[in-house]
Amino acid sequence: MMTRSGLPSRLRLSQRLLLRLANAIDVARRAYLMSQIGLHGKNIVLRPNITITHPERLLLGSNIMINHGSMIFASGRVTMGSDVVIGPGSMILTGNHVGEIFYGNTETQPITIGSNVWLGAGVVVTPGASIGDNVIVAAGSVVSGQIPSNSIVGGVPARIIRELVLPFEPRHYTAATEPGEPLT
């Protein structure tokens, strides 16, 4: 028997079952990742197909979204404030190869991302970078060094495009579990 879509009904049923199974696996994977993250606030959204290495060294505030296909290599520690959006395909990398022999010869540096930060699609944050509060990083940028608060940056390497003037006072809680509690 054929369905309206032109596919046999058994094939449509198989597709629906596989989709449900894939969704269940994704939900279980996200739950596992959340249980492994070192410290986190409320409302953490992990989209499908993300990679987080050393999740125990990842510290997240509240209201965080890590989008599809993003990678966080947190061996050197990554700290994010609250209200942070990581665009699709972005990379946050705390390790770098050093010396003439690359295999196994790495060093790490911590990365700090403030509150109310938006990293556009495909942004790369390199070891030791520090991004202040109220920052927008344009898609495809490479962030290294210090990015001051209240700025819009972009490019390779990321440079200040202009100051960010907010029409409102952002919520500032860097909570581990509740607004107002410090993120340690």
Locus of tokens 């599809």: 68
Cα separation, 152 vs 75, in Å, equals 28
For 6-41, what is each residue's pLDDT tens digit? 567 777 777 777 777 776 776 777 777 777 777 778
Q: How high is the pLDDT of residue 105?
A: 79
Average pLDDT over residues 117-128: 96
Average pLDDT over residues 82-93: 96
Neighbours of 170 (CB within 10 A): 12
Q: How high is the pLDDT of residue 181?
A: 47
Yes or no: say if 91 and 71 are a contact pair by the CB < 8 Å rule. Answer: yes
Distances (CA, A) of 29 to 24, 114, 115: 9, 27, 26
Cα separation, 33 vs 43, in Å, equals 14
Residue ranges per domain, the chain?
Answer: 37-163
Which helix (H) or strand (E) element contains residue 14? Answer: helix 9-36
**CATH second-level architecture of 37-163?**
3 Solenoid (2.160)
What's the predicted TM-score (pTM) here? 0.76
CA 54 vs. chain centroid, Å, equals 14
Catalytic residues, by residue number, are 97
Beta bridge partners of residue 112, listed in sequence order:
79, 130
